Amino acid sequence: MLIKHLAPNLARSSRFWLSLALCVCALFGCAAPPRRRTATPTVSVPAPRPTLAESSPAPVTPAPTPVPEAYAVSGELHLAVRENIRSLNPFATTNDSEAFVTRLIYDSLLDYQPARGFLPNLAERWDLRGEGSRLTVWLNPAARWHDGAVVSAADVVFTFGLIRRGTLPGWADIAAAVDRVEAISPQEVQLTLLDTREEILRQVCTRVPIVPAALWQAVPEPATYANLEHPVGCGPLVLEFYTDAERLVLRNSQRHPTRAPTVATLVIDIVRDETRALQELNEGRVDALGWDAQPAMVADVRDHADKYPGLHWNQAAGAKQRVVLFNLRLAPYDDARLRTALAKAVDVAGIIRQAAFSLAEPATSDPFAPSSQWHDASRAAPAYNTQAAVEALEAAGYRDTNGDGIRERPDGSALLIPILCAKVETEQKIASLIVAGWKAVGIAAQAVPVAPEQVLPALMGGSFEAVLTELDLVEQSALYDCFHTSQGELRGGRVVGRNYAGYASAAFDRTVELLLEARNDRERLDLTRQAQRTLAEDAPWLPLFSPNVLSLYSETRFEGWSPVPGIGLLDRHVIVGLVPRD
């Protein structure tokens, strides 16, 4: 049988490496040197997919790779995160900060970069056979654990054995998809897969952290093991110092065979106050903020360069979309004509300007955000046109029958749309602008602010009429989870899946069912596009905007900051790409 190689269209940027936490720690006693101003950046978007020939290695066994010589490193990078780091267990991270650090300490079989597709990591070569059910990988013979031991096929078999036990929360999909993992030789591993869906292959290759069998065999409870005492991985950085809730220091191993970061030391401090973090960044005691910065803060840096000399800001395409979600189980929200007319009456450009400080992009009818590989860039945002909205409402029977300036339902009863939103300044601002837009075309509405933690229960219980929320679809299978009729059923007072709107479409259901069954990449893409077209026609939500991922950093000590679409600075590749300034 013709050997197939795992192509980049079998995987995209692992959302999982996405939303991690970077940045900021103090260089005590050092004054900040002069800094340059930066020009306003453009929005970074995902690069086009490379072809198979551009990303797949040749099916020829290479000569043995020698143990790499130690490469030169320099500089101490100071980053800040906002969450406590209380576990370095790569199977049980509880926040972005922990996930970020474990990705620097541990490695997966393969790596991925948007512009280049799949790349060697622990595996230097791989192929896929048997209709995608048999994956063989050859480990890099130069790969070493931090204690000097060779990374072997036995370690890979052991790692997948841990996952296949089914005792690690969050790993059920991979546990169910992998049938067998066998060591063919000390450096060759064969995985037999029960599920050959593209997203599963991506997770198997890039998400699973390989751990040393010799050490983890002695761990009685892998799911709860904190792994804070000298964790041994094979990633580019080694843990050197840790203080709970305060500081963590990593040093460069200087012998990683495929990723050679030039940063000598990475110091991570926990800084929960964003105002304090910005001050430290401005004073030169911090190199970057390791989270998606608040739009108001970035706008202040953008608009007052004299206050922040030398600070840089960047916006990358976002991974989420702000929307108004309607409860389609209730009238009149089950009327697509009303939903379409309401969309025409919302000034999204004004909302982006006033509530998002012009640091967002208009959303479209596509459920996938701009940073997603499945995003359909051909879709346009709804056009703001109050006259068209008025005409559409009239045609649908929503008229002002008593002359009070407020439209009634087609049956003559009163219509008042309550918009549930989090009791947060930005959310309330967005809701108030929507209310004003609808009022201008004769639709009565009011914002209903609630505690932020009450929004999700309202969605899960289907106890809302309209709600200001977000879509965050990552994989194609999320189309089923979020919009299939079965996932919107209410049972015991709770929505079964994530179809909180209660969207129901037989045509859409059939499309996504075929999508889950399809194994051919072209067929899966065609079915995805068909599902997107159906959603665009039915308009189950009102699209608003996609917030850009916002980053703040200084180039005084390091240059080469390259925020990743959908993630920003919170990615291992960002650290690997930094270069100390002379």
| Site of tokens 């999982």 | 16
- Least-confidence region, from 19-28, 267-276, 566-575: 19-28
pLDDT of residue 473: 93
The answer, yes or no, to whether residue 3 has pLDDT greater than 60, is no
Nearest alpha-carbon partner for 346 in 325, 369, 320, 324? 324
Radius of gyration for the chain, computed over Cα atoms and rounded to the nearest angstrom: 26
d(CA 477, CA 199): 8
pLDDT of residue 534: 97
pLDDT tens track for 399-441: 999 999 999 999 999 999 999 999 999 999 999 999 999 999 9
SS3 category, 118: strand
DSSP line for 5-17: ---GGG----GGG
pLDDT of residue 119: 87
The answer, yes or no, to whether residue 84 has pLDDT greater than 70, is yes
Domains and their CATH numbers in the chain: 8-316+549-580 (3.40.190.10), 321-547 (3.10.105.10)
Reported confidence tier of residue 69, pLDDT bands at 50, 70, 90: low
Residue 448: its H or E element: strand 444-450
DSSP line for 265-284: EEEEEE---HHHHHHHHHTT
pLDDT of residue 70: 67
Neighbours of 409 (CB within 10 A): 17
**Mean pLDDT of the region 506-534:** 93
pLDDT of residue 490: 96
Percent of the chain whose pLDDT exceeds 70: 88
Mean pLDDT, rounded, of the chain: 87
pLDDT tens track for 200-227: 888 899 999 999 999 999 999 999 999 9
SS3 category, 213: helix
| Cβ burial 548-574 (10 Å sphere, 16+ → b, else e) | bbbbbbbbbbbeebebbbbbbbbbbbb
SS3 category, 370: coil
Reported confidence tier of residue 112, pLDDT bands at 50, 70, 90: confident
pLDDT tens track for 235-261: 999 999 998 878 999 999 998 888 778
The answer, yes or no, to whether residue 187 has pLDDT greater than 80, is yes
Residue type, 508: F
What predicted TM-score, i.e. pTM, was given to this entire model? 0.82
**Mean pLDDT of the region 3-8:** 36
- Least-confidence region, from 127-136, 324-333, 372-381, 435-444: 127-136
Reported confidence tier of residue 67, pLDDT bands at 50, 70, 90: low
**Cα distances (Å, whole numbers) of residue 421 to 424, 439, 464, 469, 555:** 8, 18, 10, 8, 38
Residue 449: its H or E element: strand 444-450
The answer, yes or no, to whether residue 8 has pLDDT greater than 50, is no
- Least-confidence region, from 29-43, 497-511, 542-556: 29-43
pLDDT of residue 257: 87
pLDDT tens track for 349-379: 999 999 999 999 999 999 999 999 899 999 9
Higher pLDDT, 14 or 417: 417
Q: Are 374 and 524 in contact (CB under 8 A)?
A: no
| Site of tokens 């309209």 | 466
DSSP line for 91-114: T---SHHHHHHHHHH-B-SEEEET
